[in-house]
Chains A and B, each alone.
Chain A
Amino acid sequence: MTLDTVAAAQASPDTAQPFAELGLKADEYQRIREILGRRPTSSELAMYSVMWSEHCSYKSSKVHLRQFGEKAPPSDALLVGIGENAGVVDIGEGWAVTFKVESHNHPSYVEPYQGAATGVGGIVRDIISMGARPLAVMDPLRFGAPDHPDTKRVLPGVVAGIGGYGNCLGLPNIGGEVVFDDCYQGNPLVNALCVGAMKHEDIHLASAKGVGNKVILYGARTGGDGIGGVSVLASETFDETGPAKRPSVQVGDPFMEKLLIECTLEVLGAGLVEGIQDLGGAGISCATSELASNGDGGMHVWLDRVPLRDATLSPEEILMSESQERMCAVVTPAHVDDFLRICRKWDVEAVVIGEVTDTGSLTIDWHGEQIVAVPPRTVAHEGPVYERPSARPAGLDDLQANDASRLPRPATPDDLARTVRDVVAAPNVADKAWITDQYDRYVRGNTVLAQPEDSGMIRVDERTGRGVAIATDCNSRFARLDPYAGAQLAFAEAYRNVATTGAVPLAVTNCLNFGSPEDPEVMWQFAEAVRGLADACQQAGTPVTGGNVSFYNSTGDVAIHPTPVVGVLGVIEDVAARTPQAWHTDGEAIYLLGDTHDELSGSEWAHVIHGHLGGRPPRVDLHRERVLAEVLVAGSRDGMLSAAHDVSDGGVAVALVEMALRADVGARLWVPDGLDPFVFLFSESAGRAVVVVPRSEEQRFTAMCAARALPAQRIGVVDSGLGDDAGRPSQQVLVLALPGGEQITWPLADLREAHGRTLPGLFG
């Protein structure tokens, strides 16, 4: 094939080009021709096609995502906002923390192990390119029916990929989610979160400034893997007739990534870097155009200098390749030798591939011939923007009308006892140790809390104990019933989980997983979810610092439930004050905080027992969430709480069982006055938590709740000695007294069996 140069493009304006196969629409192709004043070369076409893909350009979501900035609450904590590789938050004492969550959904369905592995790798490079040392990762995961044969292919592969990559990288995996729902059968969601920390003065941004500065590509060699990953995989709906897309998935090398982390931190620490950018989706196309358009506006690249794994790659393929474990740095000429020396120390290949210019143009040569000459902003930042049509889903009224109030409820104590066991054993509620035990949660020695605790907590400063807590959440059934409220509930749950462990919620990231934006009903769900999340963040006072959109999670014309996964980051002054989930000490009082309403629509109970989805999700009260968070944080800081757990999936029943199982200690419980036992156990009203208060602190704690008008009902006492009363010597039990004088007794051994055997039974 002959080389398509800029000169050739000028000379042959009528050459037909495969823009549609590369995912560009006819009008988008026309716009490229107008920008350039000629037809693009094949290399330019490759660059525009990947950078203008939905995944890179956010062309369908941009008009909505603006709200996160427009509605951002005033916050002193935000050091770097939306738009950079990841947002940066001030956590005090000179420390800055950066965190972000991204999707790797489509690759993980095609090739679960590598798809999930490279999802971890990509998000970690986002964090190091801000100048931060990565501290921990988390993985919100969603799969189809647990007993479906394809889930048995996808889930073990995804888990092995996350473990295989993350464990080898030396980052603790401190939490996440595992959710099963039929709606994800053909579109599992693999989201990956990373958090990192640095001192304020070490923050780095992706820009190429300083004419004459060198552009260094370092890390792994460029191969043919992942070509078109973002445009082909992440921006298109799967269908059964299409060709296999496995070659579009990248292949990861965690050992190289570990070297890349250490090498990058060393060159940053030595002050050798002017600007830095990771290579992820759209590879060199993305890194060069973004660096150039964020800097002085010009860059020249000698593409033939790129070290290749496969010498037969064409320049177009090199520009589009998504080979993993690569980074790009802008370095002054005086620092190049030192930079290369540190790379050699870590056995990392590094090559000067270009330099910063003041031409305003990104030019790329291939063996002396110019193959690209474009204004970089038009590639990186001025892609198409669509205001897609949206329409409220036709069936939504019927869905909302079909609420859970008509479902039969357990009536007798035996029914209630059995229902608790069934819900505790349900795949979404069951113990996730089969998965999380495949992840290293201890490496780096700063893990204070990890799954199954309410949030993952990492010590940032060993001297002072300052740390961060992170939780991710989304109940997509709620979002299906009402995307506005569903997004707010996802936020509220993550916010609450962070506060439950004693940290003050500071900032928000998100991963918005939806169907096809070309479907007006999906677009409506998306718009509503974004509006809900932006409003919630505004009311709660926690700004969105960044995020990611994953569209085209559809099989045929059936979309997944809207799944706006929300991550909340909080700060804790001293991790020694954290509140764990387990109760330990006999005689300590168990309180339920917040109001319990008859809210069962979309609940885990309706899902597990009746396979039902309909009605409206629980109401959201962000003022109440704020008050609850303040009480949880104050209770932790002032030593008034010995344990706490948020109430969400499966209601109070699941919260109490999990708290008891954590340290295998029983309790005596009762149903508060005026509450139906079933509603008490299974309602999923928001804004609630179960807390455990030492005897000596009860007065002070209840006074604090009363002063803030937060309902606090005493619902039990920790008691490890009940087994004998219940005729079960030396066993730990939960005993629940019902209003009529009857009582239910659950041996913890039975509950542990129910809770623990589900996942090993399915996947072990």
Chain B
Amino acid sequence: MTKIGVITFPGSLDDGDVQRAVRVAGAEPVPLWHAATTIGEVDAVVVPGGFSYGDYLRCGAIARFAPIMADVVHHAGDGLPVLGICNGFQILCETHLLPGVLTRNESLHYVCRDQALTVERTDTAWTNEYETGDRIVIPVKHGEGRYVADDATLDWLEGEGLVVVRYADGNPNGSFRDIAGISNEAGNVVGLMPHPEHAVEDLTGTPGTDGLRFFTSALQSLVG
């Protein structure tokens, strides 16, 4: 069975939810501890949401120095599928696996709401089960999710088609160009602020299962 590692930092909150989503998708979740120096035998890694190390310095700024992150960065260079959600996206930006930075929401308030997104890039390890242009609804819940980069970087991201998901029907945090999630050029590393793991069963989280295909995509890319 495909094994997907889920990192737990002190202060990680959605690690259990990602493990559940991985199970629902039909893979085996493998808990990874931040202090470990290797990711071990896993086929993909998810860096989940939360407030790693309290996010006291700057979101993700301490977590990037966690022992396990060096191994994640190393394997990401070899094509390991890596997904960063919310705080995980912030951490991937801090490690420079992805460009840009997430800053305080424009409203200055934390926001938790069901959010419509447009899927734009579907040849990544985490979105290949979506169709380009799909509209999905999954929740956002963050205080610092405003994607910021300089114009050259934004132009490059859009020019290369590296914007994976964009906010539709209203931008919840003031992200530049409504960017909700991006990938690296190879498409194995994806980071996004919204939480697909909270939209994988009808009963809980955002109604519907629009988020599930992030996880089944990883299976697909590993099998395929």
Contacts and interface: CB of A to CB of B under 8 A. Distances in A.
Given A163-B110, A170-B50, A442 B205 contact: yes
- Best-buried of B111, B143, B197 by chain A (most CB within 10 Å): B143
B51 A168 contact: yes
Contacts of A253: 54
Given A170-B50, A438-B110, A446 B14 contact: no
Given A170-B50, A437-B111, A442 B198 contact: yes
A555 to B, nearest CB: 29
A160 B110 CA distance: 8
Q: How large is the interface on B (under 10, 10 to 19, 20 to 34, 35 or more residues)?
A: 20 to 34
Interface in A26-78: none
Nearest to A439: B112
A439 B112 CA distance: 6
B198 A575 contact: no
Interface string B61-104: 00000000000000000000000000000000000000000000
Contact of B112 (A440, A446, A576): A440
B29 interface: no
A443 interface: yes
B1 interface: no
Contact of A443 (B17, B20, B203, B206): B17
A726 interface: no
Interface string B35-47: 0000000000000
Q: How large is the interface on A (under 10, 10 to 19, 20 to 34, 35 or more residues)?
A: 20 to 34
Given A442-B112, A443-B13, A255 B53 contact: yes
A255 B111 contact: no
B3 interface: no
Nearest to B13: A170
A527 to B, nearest CB: 41
A167 interface: yes
Contacts of B110: 160, 163-164, 167, 438-440
Contact of B204 (A438, A439, A446): A446
B168 to A, nearest CB: 18
A576 B205 contact: no
Nearest to A347: B10
A576 B203 CA distance: 7
A300 B57 CA distance: 40
A255 B109 contact: no
B197 A445 contact: yes
Interface in B119-143: 139, 141, 143
- Best-buried of A253, A442, A459, A576 by chain B (most CB within 10 Å): A442
A445 B205 contact: yes
Contact of B17 (A346, A441, A445): A445
Contacts of A438: 109-112
A444 B19 CA distance: 11
B112 A437 contact: yes
Nearest to B21: A445
Contacts of A164: 110
A167 B195 contact: no
Contact of B143 (A167, A446, A448, A575): A167
Contacts of B14: 170, 443, 445
- Best-buried of B51, B112, B206 by chain A (most CB within 10 Å): B112
B203 A459 contact: yes
A168 B139 contact: no
B31 to A, nearest CB: 13
A576 B10 CA distance: 33
Contacts of B203: 448, 459, 575-576
B66 to A, nearest CB: 12
B112 A255 contact: no
B204 A447 contact: yes
Given A441-B112, A445-B205, A447-B205, A346 B50 contact: no
Contacts of B195: 442
A575 B204 CA distance: 10
A752 interface: no
A346 B10 CA distance: 7
Interface string A444-485: 111110000000000100100000000000000000000000
A259 B50 CA distance: 13
B51 to A, nearest CB: 5
Nearest to B108: A160
Contacts of A326: none
B204 A168 contact: no
Contacts of B51: 167-168, 254-255, 258
A252 to B, nearest CB: 11
Contacts of B56: 255
A428 to B, nearest CB: 22
Contacts of A576: 203
A565 B51 CA distance: 32
Contacts of B111: 437-438
Given A255-B54, A459-B204, A442 B10 contact: no
B11 A258 contact: yes
B10 A445 contact: no
B177 interface: no
Nearest to A156: B109
Interface in A148-164: 160, 163-164
A436 B110 CA distance: 10
A445 B204 contact: yes
Contacts of A445: 14, 16-17, 20, 197-198, 204-205
B108 to A, nearest CB: 9
Interface string A103-143: 00000000000000000000000000000000000000000
B216 to A, nearest CB: 17
Contacts of B198: 442, 445
Contact of B10 (A163, A254, A255, A440): A255
22 contacts: A163-B110, A168-B55, A170-B13, A253-B54, A255-B56, A258-B11, A346-B10, A437-B109, A438-B110, A438-B111, A439-B112, A440-B110, A440-B141, A442-B139, A442-B205, A443-B13, A445-B16, A445-B204, A446-B204, A448-B204, A462-B20, A576-B203
Given A168-B54, A254-B54, A437-B109, 15 more contacts: A163-B110, A167-B51, A167-B143, A169-B13, A170-B13, A253-B54, A255-B11, A255-B54, A255-B56, A442-B205, A445-B20, A445-B204, A447-B205, A448-B204, A459-B203
